[in-house]
Amino acid sequence: MSADEKDTLSVILEDGEQDLVEFLCKGRFDRARERKAEWRKMGKESDDKYSHDRIGLFAELAFAKQTDVYPSQVLSPKINTKVSGRDMGDTVYKGLRFDVKATIHDNGVLWIDKINQNIDYYVFFVVTNQTDRVVCKLRGLIKATVLHSKGARHRKQFKFPCIYAEQEELTPWWVFERSLEER
């Protein structure tokens, strides 16, 4: 086990949880397109227009499962945008607002394209959709003010500038939890 792997927490999503995500990702994507939300295609797009929403929802549900909080923002049919100021993140845990980010790439980065002042922390997962289960690896988190201070930069995989943090810059979940206990 590598040093990186020892700091990675894995959350397994079972069949019923996968079915719930499938239902929600279609609703989320379709509602956003009905409201004329931009569909930013990224990377090598598959024929599955729901894939990005699915991966994000897997991670959001995994975070709710790990923190043992009801995923009210994840399950909400309301669309609250950053521009409107009503996007409060994905989950509130121990009084802090978390925005969950995800990728399917083992070496991916946590990135945002818009600053959301309502967020306290960004959490990053690498999601692997296996035949019998979904494995969501919590690679770490970063304080929102730290990420926001980086400013937008170009990265070779992105067609646009974004604010991002490499996985090495993220705090492991257990370190974060220990810091909360010490408060």
The string of pLDDT tens digits covering residues 36-68 is 666 666 566 566 777 888 888 899 999 999 998
Give phi and psi for 121, each to the nearest 5.
-140, 150
Task: Round to the nearest angstrom and report the end-to-end CA distance of the chain.
Answer: 31
**Strand (E) or helix (H) holding 20:** helix 15-34
Q: How far apart are CA 102 and CA 105, in angstroms?
A: 9
Q: Under a CB-based contact definition with an 8 Å cutoff, are residues 143 and 180 in contact?
A: no
Give phi and psi for 98, each to the nearest 5.
-115, 135
Max distance between CA atoms of the chain, in angstroms, equals: 48
Whether the pLDDT of residue 131 is over 50: the answer is: yes
Tell me which residue has tokens 């802090």.
96
Kindly report, residue by residue over 9-19, the tens digit of the pLDDT.
899 998 888 88
Kindly report, residue by residue over 17-35, the tens digit of the pLDDT.
888 888 888 887 777 777 7
Kindly report, residue by residue over 80-121, the tens digit of the pLDDT.
555 555 566 788 899 999 999 999 999 999 999 889 989 999
Give phi and psi for 168, each to the nearest 5.
-65, -20
> What ranges make up the beta strands (E) of 115-181?
121-129, 134-143, 163-165
How many other CB atoms are there within 10 angstroms of residue 55's CB atom?
A: 23
SS3 label, residue 54: helix
